[in-house]
A and B are shown apart, each in its own frame.
Chain A
């Protein structure tokens, strides 16, 4: 699970221009902390689908699943199985 989390964090650092000095906790909100907006979320979903060869059903695109490192990691683990 840790490598998935690190992979998502690397993606965010490379693509969201997030401040690398801010400490982002696993359950911190990506949207409320100014890291992602709705377009960014769709781009991140595309990246995840391609990288992990999964399809994220659109009804799973919710804050619970997609607004934190932990939520996204859990979702990928669930869908990869």
Chain B
């Protein structure tokens, strides 16, 4: 059967697991999609503000913020502090060994502009390279649905970030953790974390690391068990405000440039901060035939925040060969 592209988003029948209904011309996800209504979004924002009032202002930090220095997280932090200037933010930038100098400069600049504290989370590059190489060499280490959300390399990297940010929030006694997930990336705008679930998700990631051949005995990547044992029953809340705000990539970039954020010189249509991304995408496509950004882009298009044409163009843009070669060399990947 010839390839059919969903009439509404960018998913197509050549992607494993995607069926297009011949009658409606829609993929299963578009057929069952129920967007958050304007009222639901506004209710979530009200709830978020209530949480700020109830739990904020107690300790050194209110928010531990995942700042990559890319466009989404830079924009989210700037808008957050503009709307809620009273929040005390610790912005954490994870140096995965592949963040561009430009992303570091941008992250520092946004922190300076917003009065947020900046913390660069670093690990030994050789350990990270070995871990990402193993992720690239692995097959089926993550559940099938995770393969549609991100590449094996990105799933490994983002899981490390989540684990270490939750740990940091518990240690700092900060009530909120914030990620700049788009509507296509986040399951829920507000997630309360309790010790039970934190422990469970730690164990799930520990198993995934073992699947790729990494035994994290020193808890470099995992939340330290000791931290979970000593936390109270109630943990921090994860907030994803970007999925409640209007999302328009062009406008976001425009707003950022206006405040002095430097557009990246990376030739990667899906990342404005990570030089490993093109390699990770190619590796995932070769292994599974799935573009790791297809679902993310489809979600943004489905929600009406990006045109279908723009989404298709983004999805089919050629990956940068120089970036792929540079990353393969660093990882010693053959």
Contact = CB atoms under 8 A, between A and B. Distances in A.
Contacts of A75: none
A37 B205 CA distance: 9
A15 interface: yes
Interface stretch (B56-64, B136-144, B308-316): B136-144
Interface string B166-208: 0000000000000000000001100111101100110011011
A36 B188 CA distance: 16
B110 to A, nearest CB: 26
A62 B147 CA distance: 24
A37 B188 CA distance: 15
A59 B196 contact: yes
A42 B188 CA distance: 8
Nearest to B158: A39
A2 interface: no
A28 B188 CA distance: 26
A39 B149 contact: yes
A16 B196 contact: no
Contacts of B145: 15-17, 35-37, 40
Interface residues of B, number: 28
A38 B143 contact: no
Nearest to A60: B196
Given A39-B149, A58-B194, A34 B144 contact: yes
B293 interface: no
A17 B144 contact: yes
Contacts, number: 67
A51 to B, nearest CB: 12
A40 B295 CA distance: 14
A17 B17 contact: yes
Given A17-B145, A38-B200, A38-B201, A61 B194 contact: yes
Contacts of B149: 39
B146 A37 contact: yes
Contacts of A46: 187-188
B32 interface: yes
B9 to A, nearest CB: 15
Given A17-B145, A31-B204, A61 B140 contact: no
Contact of B194 (A15, A35, A59, A63): A59
Nearest to A38: B201
Interface of A: 14-19, 31-32, 34-40, 42-43, 46, 58-59, 61-63
6 contacts: A18-B144, A19-B144, A37-B145, A39-B187, A40-B146, A61-B196
4 closest Cβ pairs, A-B complex: A38-B201, A17-B144, A17-B17, A43-B187
Interface of B: 16-17, 28, 32, 140, 142-149, 187-188, 191-194, 196-197, 200-201, 204-205, 207-208, 233
